[in-house]
Amino acid sequence: AWSTFALYLNSTIYILNSSY
């Protein structure tokens, strides 16, 4: 569960960085 949560946060941050 934690792995999925961390992966989800990582993906969101990556998308935000790309958008920014």
Give the per-residue pLDDT at 11.
Answer: 95
| pLDDT tens readout for residues 1-20 | 678 999 999 999 999 999 76
- Neighbour-count burial for 1-20, b at 16+ CB within 10 Å, e otherwise: eeeeeeeeeeeeeeeeeeee
Strands (E), 1-20: none
What global pTM score does this model have? 0.32
The pLDDT score that the predictor gives to residue 20 is 66
pLDDT of residue 2: 72
